[in-house]
Structure 1
Amino acid sequence: MIQQIFNEDELPMADLEKIGLASGGHLSLETEDLQALVSGRRTNMLRLKNLSGDGLQIPELDAKLSLKPNESGNLDLLVHPIYREPQFPDFLTDTEAEELERGQAVSIWKLVKDENNQTRDILIEFDQETKEFIITDTEKILIPDLVNNEYLTPEQKERYRKGKEVEISDGTKLQFSGTERQGVRSNRLALVASIIVDGGVSYMLYQGLNALFGKKRSEKESLQSSAGYEQALRDMDANKNALAQYESNSRENLRKFSR
């Protein structure tokens, strides 16, 4: 999970229209791809059409998209095509880069110095689709407090932050992944993650999750749901209903006040 860091009204609509993903101010992105963008992640592989730049005209291109703030405070649209030869960061050794490329390592956690000589805590992964190394600032990873209604221990949270596999008592295994549109992989097709915010609970239902990296899962295992998962779904629905009622009451009170 990565928290939403951009607002939809900040999206570079003109750039999205140029590549056929928006028209008249309306997006034609899937909900999951839009959520990935505003959360600072990458979309799934998309078929882009009629790209132009630097005197070149490209009829079609398969690529992933992401957003990056520029110096003026606006968002730039980044296009990540399929690279012929991956360029690995200089803070990776040849052995580490090779392990990531070959899928022998899921991710590598490191402490590095940035341009201001400040220590950064990062996670490096390799996107097998675009053949590109992905770097995630672990401070931006939103770590769930609960999964399927079960609290994660401090040790489990630390493992999740470092890209390691976490298993809870109902047999659900999950792992953060910056290469995934939803930001997480699991041995289950679905799970409910919860974040405690200002005394309240925010729920996120993840569905259609990809398997843990390099591991196969049986159809039976992937479809299993625990009592904790079912309870988390009920709590999520109850929370939505309570929020809807609160908003309705607020609107009614506002109308009364304005009379």
Structure 2
Amino acid sequence: MDIIHYNEKLLPMKDFETIGLAAGGQLLLNVDDLKALLSGRRTGLMQLHNLEGENIRIKSMDAKISLKPDEAGKLNLMIHPVYKKPVTPSFLDDAEAAKLEKGEVANYLKKTTDDLGNTKEILVEFDSETREFIVSDTEKILAPDMVNLQFLTAAQKENYRKGKEVTLTDKTTFAYSGADAKGIRANKLALVASILIDGGLTYVVYKGLNRLFNQQRNDVEAGKLSPGYYNAVQDAESERQRVPNQMSRSYTRNGHR
């Protein structure tokens, strides 16, 4: 689930201007890509222009971008180009890497150790657009407390963080995906996720969701949403009107591929 993590005013505007994504102090990004960035996620694939580095200059290239804060909290712009050959992480064997690349499996759950020797659980996926392995720390994956006004059980939250599918009584099925632009896939075109923050509910209205991994979907059936969804949308709108200046309290994510 995506909640706004970064302040738009703190974006490295000069870096955006350097790659043609800002001009005159104004960002040249669509709403979905901006929200993805501010939520700590990658944007969709886009064309960047006039990239310069040490002994290299690229007129244009397709890539995704993201933000990464340094130790001081300064936001750095990260560029994720399309790789000809993906670099396989050390914690994947060749067979696992091949299955991810071929789209035979959605993800692998792995345990690894950090530089301090601490064990952590990670979810590994493959981004077919950039041909890059995506690694998510499961402890940092934020599971919603409710979806379509239905509370998730502890087991459902754990399954969500581990990249497994979660099904509600209203027949909505969804799953986390670090490789998806919205961070979540579903058998429905839309859903409303909610999480308790600082004693209040934050609502995220997702529209135009991509289908679940390797599953067919009839858009007519996928567009038949439950009463819980519509009631949650009304609650999200009421919350937005109550705190109109707090973007993270309620927002809508539109568009799908």
TM-score when normalising by structure 2: 0.91
Instruction: Note the alpha carbon deviations across 1:93-126, whole angstroms, 9 max, x for none.
Output: 2221111111111011122101111112211100
SS at match of 1:44: coil
Of residues 25-34 and 49-58 in structure 1, the stretch that sits farther from structure 2 once superposed is 49-58
C-alpha separation between the residues in 1 aligned to 2:74 and 2:198?
A: 29
Which residue is 2:191 aligned to? 191
C-alpha separation between the residues in 2 aligned to 1:50 and 1:34?
A: 21
Q: 1:104 to 1:227 in 2, by over 3 A?
A: same
The number of residue pairs the alignment matches comes to 245
* Cα contact 1:189–1:222 (8 A) shared by 2: yes
Identify, as 1 or 2, the structure richer in helix.
1
Q: How does 1:14-29 map to 2 (within 5 A)?
A: 14-29=14-29
Which residue is 2:250 aligned to? none
C-alpha separation between the residues in 1 aligned to 2:188 and 2:155?
A: 22
* Cα contact 2:189–2:219 (8 A) shared by 1: no
Q: How does 1:178-257 map to 2 (within 5 A)?
A: 178-244=178-244
RMSD of the TM alignment (CA)?
Answer: 1.6
C-alpha separation between the residues in 2 aligned to 1:73 and 1:158?
A: 29
C-alpha separation between the residues in 1 aligned to 2:103 and 2:136?
A: 18
Q: 1:240 deviation in Å? A: 2.1
**Percent of aligned pairs with the same residue?**
49
Q: 1:72 to 1:237 in 2, by over 3 A?
A: closer
Instruction: Note the alpha carbon deviations across 1:132-181, whole angstroms, 9 max, x for none.
Output: 00011122211111111111111111110000111111111111011112
Gaps of 5+ in 2: 246-257
Matched, 1:69 2:69: yes
Q: How does 1:79-158 map to 2 (within 5 A)?
A: 79-158=79-158
C-alpha separation between the residues in 2 aligned to 1:90 and 1:122?
A: 13
* Cα contact 1:3–1:141 (8 A) shared by 2: no
* Cα contact 1:3–1:140 (8 A) shared by 2: no
* Cα contact 2:12–2:75 (8 A) shared by 1: yes
Instruction: Note the alpha carbon deviations across 1:212-244, whole angstroms, 9 max, x for none.
Output: 111110011221111111111111122223335
SS at match of 2:233: helix
Partner AA of 1:171 in structure 2: K
Gaps of 5+ in 1: 246-259
C-alpha separation between the residues in 2 aligned to 1:240 and 1:9?
A: 21
Q: 1:11 to 1:242 in 2, by over 3 A?
A: closer
C-alpha separation between the residues in 2 aligned to 1:7 and 1:35?
A: 11
* Cα contact 1:2–1:141 (8 A) shared by 2: no
Matched, 1:36 2:36: yes
Q: 1:194 to 1:71 in 2, by over 3 A?
A: closer
